[in-house]
A and B are shown apart, each in its own frame.
Chain A
Amino acid sequence: MASSSGNDDDLTIPRAAINKMIKETLPNVRVANDARELVVNCCTEFIHLISSEANEICNKSEKKTISPEHVINALESLGFASYITEVKDVLQECKTVALKKRKASSRLENLGIPEEELLRQQQELFAKRTRNAGVLDLTARIVYESAVV
């Protein structure tokens, strides 16, 4: 549904996402269409506001990339300090989830084989196999050879 207009000024958050948020925030409230449209535009304006401020802070710090710290300082200086705790919490939550996913997929928990043993077997296989064997292939072979052994 993304429009392919090249005009930067037309960039807005999808209406459906805004409608959903409004509905969740104000359940049972009838919201006029022009009000919804306005909220969409306010979003864009807000994003520009935060970006510009964060960018200025970033420039002053002589860094090239806008960092989370810059965004937080921007929120603070623009009067949105009340958002800071929650945004930080959600970010931390997401990172924790990401970290757990990574650990889970590397542990091969289902085998019940300790990680060191798996590593040892993997080393042996690395030595045996050609370079072309993909990682998945190796893993599959570890599983197979362990089962056979």
Chain B
Amino acid sequence: MSGNNVGEKVDANTVNSKNISLPMSRVKLIMKSSPDVSSINQDALFLTTKATELFVQHLAQCSFKKGAGREKNTLAYSDLAHVAEETETFQFLTDILPKKILARDYLRSLEERGEDGDD
């Protein structure tokens, strides 16, 4: 990125509501809560915010396309969990997915173990 436009930093006032939906101030707070992150250039913050928006759209679209709810026009938690496990780019999300297992698998494992609930 060239330094031509050094004077024209993008801030919350110049951002057109058509361009961005997420609050940059909140994104900044979240970034700063990451360990070791010190200072962030304003344009870098803008890029991150915009990238996060694209991420939400991308995640929602992917999950819906590959999801079981597609025919019924619904999007469920499991659709998201599924896409996180199956898609390489979304795999970082598996960290925050609690290990949900299918009810039927759970019931089956219960039957197999008898009465001992081992989890």
Contact = CB atoms under 8 A, between A and B. Distances in A.
Partners in one complex: yes
A90 B57 CA distance: 16
Interface stretch (B25-33, B101-109, B111-119): B25-33
8 contacts: A17-B22, A26-B60, A39-B56, A42-B56, A54-B44, A65-B39, A71-B44, A94-B14
Nearest to A84: B51
Main secondary structure of the interface of A (DSSP, over half): helix
Given A48-B30, A65-B39, A91 B60 contact: no
A41 B96 contact: yes
Interface string B81-119: 100000011001101110000000000000000000000
Q: Which of A14, A80, A95 has the most CB of B within 10 A?
A: A95
Interface of B: 1, 5, 8-10, 14-16, 19-23, 26-27, 29-31, 33-41, 43-44, 46-48, 50-61, 64, 69, 73-77, 79-81, 88-89, 92-93, 95-97
Given A21-B53, A68-B43, A99-B5, A39 B23 contact: no
A135 interface: no
Contacts of A140: none
Given A22-B56, A51-B48, A90-B19, A66 B1 contact: no
A43 B33 contact: no
A149 interface: no
B75 A26 contact: yes
B20 A90 contact: yes
Interface residues of A, number: 64
A42 B93 contact: yes
Nearest to A23: B60
A111 to B, nearest CB: 25
Contacts of A66: 37, 39-41, 44
A94 B30 CA distance: 23
A107 to B, nearest CB: 16
